[in-house]
Amino acid sequence: MRARSRTRTPKMAVFATVRYTTAMSTTSAGPPHAPLAAKPSSSSSESSRADHAPVTLRTIRRMVRQGERFAALTCYDATTARWLERAGVPMLLVGDTAAEMILGLPGTIHAPLDFLITLTAAVKRGAPRTFVMGDMPFMSYQADEAEGIRNAGRFLTEGTADAVKLEVDAKDAPLIERMARAGIPVVAHIGCRPQQVKRAGGYASAGRTAEEARAMIEASAVMESAGAAMLLIEAAPNEVSARIVDRLSIPVIGCGAGPACHGQIVVLHDLLGLTDWQPSFARPIAAAGTELVHAAERWVEKVRKNDLGTHPYKMIDGEEDGL
């Protein structure tokens, strides 16, 4: 879900898996490794969202009917999910981009199935009121339909996902239909499909010719007829997305597919400036990587100077005499 350019501009490398969302220090004298309590925010928007009803497919459909655009982000851990839910992000995708962002692997096709199911459950625990999609990884559904349905079911039972996302084309309609009959909400991913890049010879946008655009529009209609709950379009012209949105009655999420889509999703690490390169449609709006480096530098300096503040743990009076 993250089309890449063939060239990258080198930048300062930063760690992809970070705990930038937790406080850097605490005055609590609690046990070691105890979870840090979040400091309540004075933000009225955060407090108003703290107890909102769970976001479901009905919620998303209602937003679409009312013309309300919705944001979505990738997420891979409970802590970050908790903060994103507090921010009011209604939809999270535990994407196969975890292979790159979390494991440091060269592409999304290397994402392990069990790993993604575990991460999906973690994200849902962190954001129980948020709509969470599990991303079905490469070869988890392509070889055998029955196996694909069982694996999709695992995302719902073990991963507690609200839906699963599959990279598909029109030929995959029978699989979508069987999943829908089994009660599995499917988000059909069309356009640029990263799991197909080896066959395509690299990442490329989709629907740039009339022939490609017609095929995408037809595939989208086939997906809806097969029972897909939502559609995700990646790396496509807005003209094509607009025609798809006009034709379908299900919510359409765009990933670099233009403003015509009902919702928009990008990789969180791109948005936060934690990656060394970002797609043109996912430019950073924060500099979390730089902030992480600065915080780590300050910690290194504090340790070097032994400037750790007052130590919170003391022996019981008189017990030191018995050492």
pLDDT digits over 109-149, tens only?
999 999 999 999 999 999 999 999 999 999 999 999 999 99
- From its phi and psi, is residue 139 left (phi > 0), alpha (psi between -120 and 50) or beta? left
Look up the domain containing 90 and give its range.
51-266
Band the pLDDT of 14: cuts 50, 70, 90: very low
181: in domain? yes
> To the nearest whole percent, how much of the chain has pLDDT over 70?
85
Q: What is the average pLDDT across 45-50?
A: 48
What type of residue sits at position 52? H
C-alpha to C-alpha distance for 92 and 97, rounded to whole angstroms: 13
**Which of 26-40, 168-182, 247-261, 286-300 has the least mean pLDDT?**
26-40
Pseudo-torsion of CA 204, 239, 91, 64, nearest 10°?
-160
Residue 163 in domain = yes
Comparing 56 with 35, the larger pLDDT belongs to 56
Q: Is pLDDT above 90 for 29? A: no
26 pLDDT exceeds 90? no
pTM of the model: 0.86
| In-domain check, residue 310 | no
| CA distances to 221, 232, 295 from 241, in Å | 12, 10, 42
Domain containing 177 — which CATH number? 3.20.20.60
261 falls within a domain: yes
Q: Establish if 297 belongs to a structural domain.
A: no
Overall domain count for the chain:
1
In a domain, 303, yes or no: no
Residues 6+ apart with CB under 8 A from 245: 252, 260, 261, 262
Q: Where are the alpha helices (DSSP H) in the chain?
A: 44-49, 57-65, 78-86, 98-101, 113-126, 145-157, 173-181, 197-200, 210-226, 238-247, 268-271, 288-304
Would 136 be classed as within a structural domain? yes
Task: Choose the catalytic residue: 85, 100, 167, 234.
Answer: 234
Tell me if 69 is assigned to some domain.
yes
Tell whether the model's pLDDT for residue 295 goes beyond 80.
yes
In this prediction, residues 184-211 reach a mean pLDDT of 95
Does 234 participate in catalysis according to the annotation? yes
| DSSP summary character for residue 53 | P
